[in-house]
Structure 1
Amino acid sequence: MPQPDYVSALGAPDPTSLDDDLQEVFQKCVDKLGLVPNVLQAYSARPNKLRNFMAMYNELMLGPSGLSKLDREMVAVVVSSANHCYYCLVAHGAAVRVLSGDPQLGEMMVMNYRVAPLDARQRAMLDFAWKLTKTPEIVVKADRDALRAVGLTTDDIFDLADTVGFFNMSNRMGIGIDMIPNPEYHGMARPEPFNPPAKKT
């Protein structure tokens, strides 16, 4: 059964009606990804907000950081799992599969990151992301100390909290306007056919 066939419940402008700079961004997305992410199409209803969203996203997810791109995408998925944000789970779940080369890791991040065979640093980051999302009022110094204990620096902790905060915001936006992910995300980085590893006897 296919998902709803729209960008969001509020619609999106015709891309050809947008300013030249935004049309150029959309063309770059097509050239690089083969699609224009629906989040950008949805935000194009408010062009200045789209520009600000892209600037923040690009700095947060692609800029220099002690957190790898995969680390940041896993955080995005765990936050989105806590919030049940369909758009971000599909889109960033696909990014985890692409960056890790592991479709099973992508599914574990979406469903329950705790079952994934993560190292201590990754697990501590994702535990912090979950807690800051679900119960932010009880995050205390001990939680930051636990991150330092597995090697995160002050800058890393800042970037982690910033990523968690951004995706809590974008999850609420996605849910609030019923943003639907591009259908292409569902098939990304899924080997065909998939043969599960043989059980050990």
Structure 2
Amino acid sequence: MSGSALRGRVLRGLPQHLPLLAASGLLRRPHVAAQCHGYSTTDDSSVRPIGRYPVPNKKDMPYDIMELMEEVEVKTGFLPNVFKAMSHRPAEFRAFFAYYNVIMNKETGRLSKADKELIIVATSAVNRCPYCVVAHGALHRIYSKQPTLADQVTVNWKLADLSSRDLAMLEFALAVCRAEDITEEHFQKLEAHGFDREDAWDIAMITAFFAMSNRIAHFVDLRPNREFYSMGRTPCEAGRDHT
């Protein structure tokens, strides 16, 4: 995939309301600290770096990666730290986000954007990944317009306010996450709630990809951006129509 094609798909996959939140002050651009690594910024309230690997200076980045990161930051009002961390390995950066786009931004199947984010939250909680739980919990709040459900799933998905459809979806995702033996019964439970075999593939691929992502975030000690914590929290923000 060319740099321009990858950039376009990443940008199309971002929640459309984020630039408006930035403009309204709900998301503020992070303060640039002089001692930071080249591209990255740090929170004023923390001296901890975003991870244990250095973020390359802008001048040392391949142009397509630097351009994508700048456009994402302009569109969202901040740059998610996963972009900074993965820029340490440009070839892997491109492969990582290319596959992310294939599974997360596909327009076929029965999984909504909120469904996909909920799968990520539930499985990332099992994999003990703070970055993915916080970041994708924020995206779930935005897409679902439900300010508390991702938090409930993070603590105990079995006690969360989930529909029977959502429960079946998460049961399957968590079976894949835990590397359980997948049987025909798993598929039958999904089919009883309207998911076909291709939907099962989508659930499994999202779970598997984010198992990898969780482990990358874990070993690099990736820190969530502080902006993620407040996104979609208030009913008026979560319910606002930005289309």
**1:32 corresponding residue in structure 2:** 75
Q: Say whether the 8 Å CA contact 1:131–1:139 is kept in structure 2.
A: yes
Higher mean Cα deviation, 184-193 or 16-25?
Answer: 184-193
Q: Say whether the 8 Å CA contact 1:65–1:156 is kept in structure 2.
A: no
**2:114 corresponding residue in structure 1:** 70
What TM-score do you get using the length of structure 2 for normalisation? Answer: 0.74
**Whole-angstrom distance in 2 between the partners of 1:147 and 1:101:** 24
**Whole-angstrom distance in 1 between the partners of 2:141 and 2:162:** 15
Percent of aligned pairs with the same amino acid: 35
Count of residue pairs the alignment pairs up = 192
Q: Say whether the 8 Å CA contact 1:60–1:163 is kept in structure 2.
A: yes
**Whole-angstrom distance in 2 between the partners of 1:131 and 1:151:** 18
Unaligned runs of 5+ in 1: 194-201
Instruction: Please state if 1:55 is matched with 2:106.
Output: no
| CA offset digits 1:105-142 (Å, max 9, x no partner) | 121122222222222221101011112212x1322121
**1:149 corresponding residue in structure 2:** 192
Instruction: Please state if 1:125 is matched with 2:141.
Output: no
From 150, 159, 170, the equivalent of 1:106 is 150
From 73, 93, 105, the equivalent of 2:137 is 93
Which structure has more RCO (C-alpha within 8 Å, separation ≥ 6)? Answer: 1
| CA offset digits 1:34-92 (Å, max 9, x no partner) | 11111111010110100011111111111123211110000000010111101101111
**2:54 corresponding residue in structure 1:** 11
From 210, 214, 221, the equivalent of 1:171 is 214
Q: Say whether the 8 Å CA contact 1:65–1:159 is kept in structure 2.
A: no
Task: Give the 4+ runs in structure 1 shifted more than 3 A.
Answer: none
**Whole-angstrom distance in 1 between the partners of 2:207 and 2:84:** 23
Higher mean Cα deviation, 115-124 or 2-11?
Answer: 2-11
Higher mean Cα deviation, 167-176 or 137-146?
Answer: 137-146
**Whole-angstrom distance in 1 between the partners of 2:221 and 2:145:** 29
Distance apart, 1:3 and its partner CA:
6.2
**1:180 corresponding residue in structure 2:** 223
CA-based RMSD: 1.9
Partner secondary structure for residue 186 of structure 2? helix
Residue identity in the other structure for 2:217: G
Residue identity in the other structure for 1:81: A
Higher mean Cα deviation, 152-161 or 97-106?
Answer: 97-106
Unaligned runs of 5+ in 2: 1-44, 237-243
Residue identity in the other structure for 1:129: A
| CA offset digits 1:9-54 (Å, max 9, x no partner) | 1222123421111111112211221111111110101101000111
